Structure 1
């Protein structure tokens, strides 16, 4: 019983790492939240709430990725973003903005 749990956990972890590396954005040093669509109003509002330091770090990663793409190059493997290092820095703020917007829409609908 314990062995199957360990196997499932390992397979799940291995599958996550495989899918993460297959996506390719980590080869440019990007994080998952760097890929959120800035045409979405909720994402724009969340970016406004982000600390200036995190915005600067995000902009650096995006500029570096664009430059690498233009050069048709990727980072050296030791500089690739690892799944363990990838932080969801914007998703909690986006979720908060969506929740606030939905509450506002509900309020406006009822009043």
Structure 2
């Protein structure tokens, strides 16, 4: 089960969004994953069955790009280096590609669970 999110609450209030957005961008830049060419969804652990299913559903190009980014970041980490600034992941490129698939998979699982627990009541 995913952790609760304040995102819908913040997005519904433009004044709060204006306050939080710069802090969120600062945090993303300080995390350092963009400096290694990664996207936020590249950091999602593959130990969950839902994540593995989502990875199987990725288009071939997106899957290849994900593996390339992770391997390049691993190599950079081993060398204690960062990419040149021109190759950093830009905020507009850091869009979720795995999150929507995970949401779809969780919705499918909920539907299956609801159908499995369905009780039929006979009317006389």
Say yes or no: TM over 0.5.
yes
Within 5 Å, which residues of 2 pair with 1:1-111?
9=18, 11-110=19-118
User: Which 4+ runs in 1 deviate beyond 4 A?
Assistant: none
Alignment deviations for residues 49-85 of structure 1 (CA, whole Å, 9 cap, x no partner): 1100100010100010010011111111221112222
**Secondary structure in structure 2 of the residue aligned to 1:103:** helix
Structure 1's unaligned 5+ residue stretches are none
**Secondary structure in structure 2 of the residue aligned to 1:110:** coil
Using the TM superposition, give the Cα deviation of residue 47 of structure 1 relative to its aligned residue in structure 2, in angstroms: 0.8
Structure 2's unaligned 5+ residue stretches are 1-13, 120-124
After alignment, is 99-108 or 36-45 more displaced? 99-108
Q: Distance in 2 between matches of 1:110 and 1:73?
A: 55
Q: Distance in 1 between matches of 2:75 and 2:117?
A: 46
Q: Which has the higher contact order (CA 8 A, sep 6+)?
A: 1
Q: What's the RMSD between the two structures over aligned residues?
A: 2.0
Tell me the matched-pair count.
106
TM-score (norm 1): 0.85
**Secondary structure in structure 1 of the residue aligned to 2:117:** helix
Larger radius of gyration: 2
Structure with higher helix content: 1
